[in-house]
Structures are given as C-alpha cells and as structure tokens.
Amino acid sequence: MTVTAQQTRRPRPQHRTTGGAFARRSLPGLAAAGLASALLLTGCGFQIHDRVCGSGHYPVKAVGNTSGGDCVADGQEPPEGYVRYPEGQVPEWVDDEWDRYWSTVVVDAEGRVVQG
C-alpha cells in the first residue's frame, strides 16, 4: 500500500474566532463610535456651561424688555437703561434658573417686575 503526501498530512487545528482580523481592526472603531454616540445622546455628561459674564464683571438687566442684558465691570454702576438683579436672583450660568426666569419678565427703571 502506497501512502501519498496528502494522506499523511495532519489536518490543521481549527481555532474558534470571533471574526478574525476584521474584528480586531473594527472593534476599536466601533467602541469609539459607541462612546461618541452615548455622549451626544446624553448631552449633559460633558456639557460645558457658559458663564453669563466673564471674570471681573457682573450681569445687568435691560429695562423695558425681556431679552436685554449686559455685563458691567465690577465696581461700576450699570449704564442708563440697565438695572442690577436682586441679590440672590443673579443669573450666573447661561440657561440656569435665574437666566431663564429673567428672560421671561420685564423690569422698570427701579428693577421692579412690570407687565410686559
């Protein structure tokens, strides 16, 4: 009986893989895409909040309308047509509680809330 090379070759062991080289290359990209999607969907995890005014300034409210405002250097009085916010009700961050509130009301030259 003659044995050929084909008959004596041992079968190669079959290793279980989860996708081979393609999976090894794609997994980091998929992980990064998943993380980016999660951050975009949650929105608040790494949201950067903006201050109403920069360092050394305080916010003032415009008289006679809901949307007007400005920032004044610390130690200076508000210019004509603007008033200070009441103590304890000063907006510090864009879209914080007081920023949202003061954007819905009108004040007079004394800083009193009036019908708008």
**Cα distances (angstroms) measured from residue 73 to each of 42, 57, 79, 85, 88:** 36, 4, 11, 15, 19
Cβ neighbourhood burial of 52 (10 Å; 0-12, 13-18, 19+)? buried
pLDDT of residue 39: 56
Q: What is the mean pLDDT of each run of 10 residues along the chain (116 residues)?
A: 63 63 64 66 60 97 94 97 96 96 96 87
pTM of the model: 0.58
